Homo-oligomer: A and B are copies of this chain.
Amino acid sequence: MITNKDKDKDSYRNTKQRQKILDVLVNSKSHPTADWIYRKLKKKFRNLSLGTVYRNLRILKEKGQIWELNLGTGFSRFDAVSHSHYHFICSSCQNIYDIKIPPMKELDDRVMQITGFRILSHRLVFFGLCDLCKLKKKKNNRNIRNNKV
């Protein structure tokens, strides 16, 4: 059973591990995975545990300090909540890029009017081909036309 206590904890401690994990996310633009964060910190924090990374990522998410990104790849990526922004995922290389267009709060209002639900936020992800993969595709198509593949 999920109780209020489970959802909105009132006492968090400020551990070195949690600080470092948030640090990594704040100072990273690559939307790292839990394992990537673990391997990065493990070098200095010799006895860091992978479970600790996962637990803290969950807690930081609960506290609203980070986002979890799910992309159908079988694992999550994480992103520090600094300024709100959108994401682009290249369907070919799977890289993630931040899209810097101002958050459209009016979308929330619109959906709130239509549904009557309380809308708190939205997540907008664009899919397509990044510059590099666009070029690769073009080159590849040329090769196919010329029977080189």
A residues with a Cβ closer than 8 A to B are: 4, 68, 70-72, 76, 86, 88, 90-91, 97, 99-101, 107-108, 110-112, 114-131, 134, 140, 144, 149
When the two chains form their complex, are residues A123 and B125 in contact, meaning their CB atoms are under 8 A apart?
A: yes
Nearest-neighbor residue (CB-CB) of A3 within chain B:
B149
When the two chains form their complex, are residues B131 and A127 in contact, meaning their CB atoms are under 8 A apart?
A: no
Can you report 5 A-B residue pairs in the complex whose CB atoms are below 8 A from each other?
A4-B149, A88-B115, A107-B124, A117-B131, A123-B125
Residues from chain B with Cβ under 8 Å of A131 in the complex: 116-117
When the two chains form their complex, are residues A134 and B118 in contact, meaning their CB atoms are under 8 A apart?
A: yes
When the two chains form their complex, are residues B91 and A117 in contact, meaning their CB atoms are under 8 A apart?
A: no
Q: Taking each of A68, A99, A134, which has the highest tally of chain B beta carbons within 10 Å of its own beta carbon?
A: A99
When the two chains form their complex, are residues A126 and B119 in contact, meaning their CB atoms are under 8 A apart?
A: yes
Other A-B contacts than A101-B110, A108-B126, 7 sampled, CB-CB below 8 A, are A70-B71, A88-B119, A101-B111, A118-B129, A120-B127, A123-B123, A123-B127
A88 and B68 in contact (CB under 8 A), knowing A124-B122, A127-B123? Answer: no
When the two chains form their complex, are residues A130 and B101 in contact, meaning their CB atoms are under 8 A apart?
A: no
Residues from chain B with Cβ under 8 Å of A125 in the complex: 122-124
Kindly provide the distance from the CB of A118 to the nearest chain B CB, expressed in whole angstroms.
4
Residues from chain B with Cβ under 8 Å of A108 in the complex: 126, 128
* Docked complex Cα distance between A86 and B135 (Å): 31
Residue from B99, B128, B140 within 8 A of A120 (CB atoms):
B128
Residues from chain B with Cβ under 8 Å of A70 in the complex: 70-72
